Structure 1
Amino acid sequence: MPAGLAFLLLPFSWLYAGIMAVRNGLYDRGWKQSEAFAVPLVGVGNLRVGGTGKTPHVAWLLEELLRQGHRPAVLSRGYGRRTRGPRLAGPADSAATVGDEPWQYYEQFGPRGVPVAVAEARRLGVALLLHAHPETTVVVLDDAYQHRAVRPALNLLLTEWARPFYADHVLPAGRLRESRAGAHRADVIIVTKSPPGAPAAARAAVARRIGRYARPGAPVLFSTYAYGPPRALAAAAGPPAPAGPALLLTGIAQPGPLRRHLEGLGYEIACHADFPDHHAFRPADFAALRAHWRPGWPIFTTTKDAARLADPALAAALAGLPLYTIAVQAALDAGAAAGLRARLPAPPGPRPA
């Protein structure tokens, strides 16, 4: 946003920030109630609108909770779905009925016994999960930092290295959903998409600036992205060329890191079809893609986008296109991983004989 326009919008940002501050104050003082449940909730969210890497970090948490012996479940709002109300994901669902990110969780963790639910009102979603799956020992809340009607036992706040919350403003002058002071609710703050091998001095400088808003003792951890090998969407597709011209298809908030990763592998992105986050793809969207594509050129996309590309209505438009997904994982160094593990809810004890 141009600096001049942002300056003109600042009064509206102050008004919005004030409204959010009053709302948060009502919860902080107990005048509005936050509901706790019989099992601990782990919240994952951010202050900024847009992608800060929540999905890979939720996946990291689910892997870790499973490893510790938990029976985790995950709850999301289900942004972009065509349904409403609390809903458990099942085999008949899709990205259209539960949302692209919840469908990712279901495909990745459903076969391992992790229930996935969506609900605008998280209180109703947690109740649905615990009723349908009483064996659940912990619920991971995806993108619920501002959803104060439920009370997490552990609140994780994510902020990007390239776009830290302390350098941003509240909507509409910036991209923050609430003021920077909201970081004080976090038990752990994770700086995502950090450059691998970032100097210790640079990390310390970021941690100091975050510390101005964080609660005393809240650790500031750093994570990076680790990309997996390309995986063909169509079983008949062979491996992609190891380098050369390629196309990129994305409908995510921050596609820059993936593009830089592909360019680092030696791919020349001849065309990047860059759509808004959670974009509902239509057959017409692929006409321009085909116009730029040449036989032998791979087309890369994300796992999140692939969830929406599986819509049967797109099958004809995508026929013959060599699409490959690139999975992304959150990677924490040993110290950061140990620090986060130490704050997770204790795993359940052995069941009585």
Structure 2
Amino acid sequence: MKILRYILFPIMPFYYLATWLRNKLFDLGIKKSKSYSTPVICVGNLSVGGTGKTPMIEHLITVLKNEYKVATLSRGYKRKTKGFQLGDKNASAETIGDEPFQFYNKFKEDVLVAVDADRQNGIEQLMNLPNAPEVILLDDAYQHRKVEAGFNILLTTYANPYFKDYVLPTGNLREPRSGANRANIIVVTKCPDNLNETDKTLVLKRINADENQHVFFSNIAYAETLLSAEKTMKVEDLTSFCLVTGIANSKPLTDFLETKKLKFDHLNFNDHHNFSPADIAELSKKELIVTTEKDFMRLKDYEVLKDKLFYLPIAIAVDKEPEFRDTIKAYLTA
């Protein structure tokens, strides 16, 4: 893969120019963005791959749900439906996508969960509901500039920060690094638990945020209890198992399990993997399966896996959490 990226290096300037020009046309108002009276908070990244958007959306829901009527709006990647869909009792990963279904499964009493590839239409549909939301969280829409979000949260991982990366196809950036200038908040995600102030200072210098931008650091907090459809199990009680992942970056999870000195074999699929009948038949032979919450949403309805399938919940811990919350709420009250 790396060799192919080097071969494609001559294409990089053209991709850079195309994405830079597109952003410039939006910045100048030549290409039109639409703003809304309902507050819209966009969560996204500059790079392809997992930066922790799903746990950040869940964190924002937790922060806001007791004071505001909240809705999430996602594309609904790899769902088998089209157009605007609102999560309801008949929702599944196939109808609204795995990550939105995770939001719905966890917060259905607190938030509206919607999907629409056309974000403008999705927002308008939500605003026209009888129980219209007071704030809309846009999932993975940082490059969707036809919508002018009132507030942008940009995520970048500590291990692969955008300021060390290059645009596609040589690097992983969807647009030039200058796209970070649109962010109101930049969150450096998946930080080591032992990250010290010196390390933070080095990152802050490279980000070089302006006076109107806020930078926070976050790390993944893994639960100590595994969950299934009907049972629970302590992580410390695991002996040997099969780890199944279909996410962009499984390394933080495998690192966590290895620190617990657990024995497991790992079936590592591509992000948003659609499990085939052959995959399910293979998994049915396993005695115990541990997976991510996102993958659990796609696997939990298979009867042959019901008694052996568990997932490990995660959350994010943000440093300076009170300041983070106050920054979000200052936008909403303004």
How does the TM-score come out when normalised to structure 1?
Answer: 0.88
Specify whether residues 128 and 218 from structure 1 end up closer, same or farther in structure 2 by C-alpha distance, changes over 3 A only: same
**8 A Cα contact 1:44 1:143, kept in partner:** yes
Distance in structure 1 (CA, Å) of the matches to 2:315 and 2:205: 26
Q: Which residue of 2 aligns with 1:285?
A: 279
Q: Which residue of 1 aligns with 2:87?
A: 89
Specify whether residues 15 and 284 from structure 1 end up closer, same or farther in structure 2 by C-alpha distance, changes over 3 A only: same
Q: Deviation of residue 242 (structure 1)? A: 1.7
Distance in structure 2 (CA, Å) of the matches to 1:344 and 1:236: 36
**8 A Cα contact 2:151 2:331, kept in partner:** no
Query: How big is each residue's C-alpha offset from its partner over 1:244-296, in whole Å with a ceiling of 9 and x where there is no partner?
Result: 32220010001111111112223112x101000000112211444456x4x5x
**8 A Cα contact 2:46 2:174, kept in partner:** yes
Q: Which residue of 2 aligns with 1:75?
A: 73
Distance in structure 1 (CA, Å) of the matches to 2:130 and 2:23: 31
1:273 corresponds to 2:267: yes
Q: Which residue of 2 aligns with 1:310?
A: 300
Specify whether residues 319 and 40 from structure 1 end up closer, same or farther in structure 2 by C-alpha distance, changes over 3 A only: closer
- Structure 1 residue runs of 4+, over 6 Å off? none
Q: Which residue of 2 aligns with 1:210?
A: 207
1:233 corresponds to 2:228: yes
Distance in structure 2 (CA, Å) of the matches to 1:237 and 1:142: 30
Q: Deviation of residue 304 (structure 1)? A: 0.4
How does the TM-score come out when normalised to structure 2?
Answer: 0.93
Distance in structure 1 (CA, Å) of the matches to 2:48 and 2:22: 18
Q: Deviation of residue 120 (structure 1)? A: 0.6
Q: Which residue of 1 aligns with 2:146?
A: 149
Q: Deviation of residue 133 (structure 1)? A: 4.4
Contiguous gaps of at least 5 residues in structure 2: none
Q: Which residue of 1 aligns with 2:180?
A: 183
1:324 corresponds to 2:324: no
Distance in structure 1 (CA, Å) of the matches to 2:329 and 2:177: 27
Amino acid at match of 1:231: L
Q: Deviation of residue 238 (structure 1)? A: 6.1
SS state at 2:72 partner? strand
Distance in structure 2 (CA, Å) of the matches to 1:203 and 1:239: 33
How many matched pairs?
333
Amino acid at match of 1:169: Y
Q: Which residue of 1 aligns with 2:257?
A: 262
Distance in structure 2 (CA, Å) of the matches to 1:300 and 1:144: 30
Amino acid at match of 1:151: E
Distance in structure 1 (CA, Å) of the matches to 2:306 and 2:193: 38
Q: Which residue of 1 aligns with 2:123?
A: 126
Q: Deviation of residue 86 (structure 1)? A: 1.2
Amino acid at match of 1:26: L
Distance in structure 2 (CA, Å) of the matches to 1:45 and 1:140: 11
Query: How big is each residue's C-alpha offset from its partner over 1:88-142, in whole Å with a ceiling of 9 and x where there is no partner?
Result: 1111110001000000111111122x10110111111111111114441110100
Amino acid at match of 2:142: Y
Amino acid at match of 1:167: K
Contiguous gaps of at least 5 residues in structure 1: none
RMSD (CA atoms):
2.0
Query: How big is each residue's C-alpha offset from its partner over 1:188-233, in whole Å with a ceiling of 9 and x where there is no partner?
Result: 100000011201111111111111xx44431221000111233342
Distance in structure 1 (CA, Å) of the matches to 2:61 and 2:45: 18
1:221 corresponds to 2:220: no
SS state at 2:44 partner? strand
Distance in structure 2 (CA, Å) of the matches to 1:77 and 1:185: 21
Specify whether residues 179 and 93 from structure 1 end up closer, same or farther in structure 2 by C-alpha distance, changes over 3 A only: same
Q: Deviation of residue 241 (structure 1)? A: 6.2
Amino acid at match of 1:339: E
**8 A Cα contact 1:46 1:143, kept in partner:** yes
Specify whether residues 345 and 40 from structure 1 end up closer, same or farther in structure 2 by C-alpha distance, changes over 3 A only: farther
Range moving further from structure 2, 174-183 or 6-15? 6-15
1:339 corresponds to 2:323: yes
Specify whether residues 206 and 34 from structure 1 end up closer, same or farther in structure 2 by C-alpha distance, changes over 3 A only: same
SS state at 1:43 partner? strand
Q: Which residue of 2 aligns with 1:116?
A: 113
Specify whether residues 133 and 59 from structure 1 end up closer, same or farther in structure 2 by C-alpha distance, changes over 3 A only: farther
Amino acid at match of 2:217: F
Q: Deviation of residue 239 (structure 1)? A: 5.6
Amino acid at match of 2:325: R
